[in-house]
Amino acid sequence: MDDAARADAAERARSMRPALDARGVRLVALTWVDNSGITRTKAVPVDRLDSAAAWGVGASPCFDTFLFNDIGMTSGAVGDLRLHPDLGKLTVLAAQPGWAWAPADRYGQDGAVHPGDQRGLARAAVRRLAERGYTAKAAFEVEWVAGEARDNADGEDFRPAVHGPAYGHARLVSRSDYVRDVAVALADQGVAVDQIHPEYSPGQFEVSVAAADPVGAADDYVLVRETIRAVSHRHGLRASFAPKVVADGVGNGGHVHLSVWDGDHNLYSGGDGRFGLTGKGESFAAGILERLPALLAIGAPSVASYLRLVPQHWAGAFAVWGLENREAALRLVTGPAGSREWAANLEAKCFDQTANPYLLVAALIFAGLAGLAADATLPDPVDVDPALLSDEERQRRGIRRLPGSLNESTAAFAADPVLTDAFGERLTSDVLAVRRGEIEHFAGAAPDEIVAALRWVH
Ligand code: GLU
Ligand code: MG
């Protein structure tokens, strides 16, 4: 960021001022997501937005190794980073009157992008994809469990805000105003809701939003979850995005939909491969499938993630792909005939919302690019629930379980040259420090304790 860029950013912020004033905005929250998947923030009065745009807002680098419990794995006493709002994404918040929000990019004081900046890595991944001549679209599905808010300490018993059958309309009836307010707030913020519905577990809902460019999809994901949180508070509720809200229930996934495009041609439709796959689309998918164990350290990065990632919970616990197979980690979604050109995509189901979405889209793109570079091909698709096959049959078909612990996926990530090269030394070591810190924190803990400790933090 040079002097001209700083002057432009300040000018742009000043030009936005009348519109922000007209909508009563007094404060702007600048968020980034740390390596534990927690959205952290600093806010500036709207008067200071031009200065924040030009010079950034100070923040310690210590957050790069913060664990979920706010304990840092490295000292943050020395050093300063600058949070710069992405003004193009500035959004007036519908459920926090007087507030606006913008995702932040983190720079060093020298004006260069901080090497530990997760959003910066996502932008770099998109550039690398563009160098190969492709673009991508992504969308994150958000599942959450609404609980009764009470004045008790974190981690205490959980009381679902709504009961009734899974996917039952009764749940929408009993929380009609709440669900409407979530959808309306998102729409007022310019987020296009595709659908919203009650999910399987007591208190659980899900919202799907339209696909966007990968960085935009990660930004939307942050905004959607913070909006759900804000609307929940206004209704006297609390939202949990944790992989497991109660140890023996069905968890919250954070499925990622991804499609790759050559101009306006979707690589997941109209090809002569299986189910309309193009060769390039297949190679990209194969690069992801092959690296799923390592990708889990980014997309299922909590000890609690592995309480969710079990067979027969639609969490995608097997390292296989399949057409519309909800027990496959990679589900190929073609959409109904007539919509395929624009609708076909890959859905990675094994991930959850403890992931940093910027790191996750970046890692998926880097894995896909490695598949493209190697002309990788996909094995046979799986069209059954792998849990229903015998051990011998799974072995015969080469069906493997995904890692069953954060320990295993962290080891796979550390040993993966493609991902660690792409992340660079700084992010790789930060990510590994945070994963190992969480593993150590929960060593010997029972599922109930893990679930209680992580229920409300993400
Ligand atoms: N809640 C499931 C999960 O943990 C996903 C259910 C669905 O397929 O929507 O991923
Ligand atoms: Mg769902």
pLDDT of residue 338: 87
Of the pLDDT bands very low, low, confident and very high (cuts 50, 70, 90), residue 79 is confident
Predicted confidence (pLDDT) at residue 259 exceeds the cutoff of 70: yes
pLDDT mean over 276-298: 98
Report how far ligand 1's centroid is from the alpha carbon of 139 (Å). Answer: 15
Nearest ligand 1 atom to the CA of 243 is 4
Checking if the pLDDT of 401 tops 90, the result is yes
Tokens 């009470």 sit on residue: 150
pLDDT at residue 151 tops 60: no
**Where is pLDDT greater, at 337 or 53?**
53
Taking residues 393-414, report their average pLDDT: 97
* For range 57-64, the mean pLDDT: 93
**Site of tokens 């880097």:** 366
Which whole number is the average pLDDT over 410-435? 98
Residue 209: both structure tokens together: 């939003």
Strands 265-266 vs 256-262: parallel, antiparallel or unpaired: antiparallel
Mutate to test the pocket of ligand 1, among 145, 195, 199 (most ligand atoms within 8 A of CB): 199
User: Across all residues in the chain, what is the average pLDDT?
Assistant: 95
For residue 36, with 0-12 CB atoms within 10 Å meaning exposed, 13-18 middle and 19 or more buried, which class applies? buried
Give the mean pLDDT of 209-231: 98
Please give the C-alpha separations between residue 365 and each of 147, 260, 358, 359, in angstroms, as whole numbers. Answer: 35, 9, 11, 10
pLDDT for residue 191? 97
Average pLDDT in the 102-108 region? Answer: 97
pTM of the prediction?
0.97
Best of 145, 250, 330 for a ligand 1 pocket test (most atoms within 8 Å of beta carbon): 250
3-state secondary structure 168-191: CHHHHHHCHHHHHHHHHHHHHCCC
pLDDT class of 3 with cuts at 50, 70, 90: very high
Atom of ligand 1 nearest to the CA of 254: 10
Give residue 320's pLDDT.
Answer: 97
Q: How far apart are CA 302 and CA 154, in angstroms?
A: 18
Answer whether residue 152 shows pLDDT above 90: no
pLDDT confidence bin for 204, thresholds 50/70/90: very high
Q: What is the pLDDT of residue 154?
A: 54
CA of 427 to the centre of ligand 1 (A): 29
Query: Could you report the per-residue pLDDT of 350-378, keeping only the tens digit for each?
Result: 999 999 999 999 999 999 999 999 999 99
Ligand 1 pocket, residues with Cβ under 6 angstroms: 143, 250-253, 308, 313-315, 326, 349
Mean pLDDT value of segment 394-404:
96
Question: Average pLDDT for residues 10-24, to the nearest whole number?
Answer: 98
Q: How far is the CA of 166 from the centre of ligand 2 (A)?
A: 11
What pLDDT score was predicted for residue 149?
77
Of 397, 429, 399, 266, nearest to 335 (Cα)?
A: 266
- Determine the Cα–Cα distance for residues 249 and 293; give it in Å rounded to an integer: 24
pLDDT at 66: 95
**What confidence tens digit (pLDDT) does each residue in 61-70 have?**
999 999 999 9
For range 375-397, the mean pLDDT: 96
pLDDT digits over 318-340, tens only?
Answer: 999 999 999 999 999 998 888 88
CA of 72 to the centre of ligand 1 (A): 31
Residue 252 has pLDDT above 80, yes or no: yes
Q: pLDDT at residue 155 above 60?
A: no
The tokens describing 445, both together, are: 């803990």
pLDDT for position 25: 98
